[in-house]
Structure 1
Amino acid sequence: MDSAIAQSASAVAPQGIAPNLFELHNRRISVSFSATSITGQPLMDYKDRNHEVHARGDEIRVEKTEIGTLVTITLEPDADAGALLFTLVIPRAVLAAPRVEQALATVGIFTRSRLPPRLNVSAQLQTYDVVQLSGNASFIVS
């Protein structure tokens, strides 16, 4: 691509600002994820009628994928019933200015993991429940 076309394309499609705060909910769940904080660590607050989790730093697993950023926390640690994880799928978004909010619609995925019932038995060890979430993405200075 020659430089004139590249300059024209960049003028039409500005970079914008990547949001770093995501506040999402549905009738049962509210989730707030901040990609950074004053300490430089990510923060995630999750609440439903059975769980209230405030995670930070290494308690949050973040994976960038082609379908968006997957942000996972543990709601229930490994136990006899198995672990319960919550993964928020954050779609790519861009903000026109720092104080602008962008509406988002996405999903959260609950993953229930369990131990094999006994040795030498075939079994599915994870099940999934997908929920719809909506809310806003914004940019905060930390």
Structure 2
Amino acid sequence: MADVTPVVGIIMGSNSDMPTMEACMKQLDEFGIPYEVKVASAHRKPLEVHEWASTAEERGIRVIIAAAGKAAHLGGVVAAYTPCPVICVPMKTSDLGGLDSLLSMVQMPSGVPVACVAINGAKNAAILALQMLGTGDDERRAQMAAYKKDMADAS
């Protein structure tokens, strides 16, 4: 999708998050939603995260999906630098099974909200991104309605 301007930005704190986030990318591909991917830790590469997040809207990004584990500050840091909605994906961890990531993400200070899906909920992050894009786009909203109808018909 290199010839189309990405409307979703995916950022993850580590390359080790990539296998989990492939479900997100696959779902976005199935929806035909162009996206870009960035790997940068909020703690190890804060200036790179700042630059990426603060210029996201200028690049055409409308929704950001941020995946991180443990302290999981990435989504909150990104949300501090962009007007775009941020969906957080807490990564499962070896220490606390991802509960540490989840709690870090949902305890944002007032004025810097993020949405949060389940631990390793990468596919749902893509679906939520489509719903957010659909709030201002009749075609995307119809696409979401068709997706839900297909799910109901398959059950």
Normalised by the length of structure 2, the TM-score is: 0.25
Normalised by the length of structure 1, the TM-score is: 0.27
Larger Rg: 1
Structure holding more helix per residue: 2
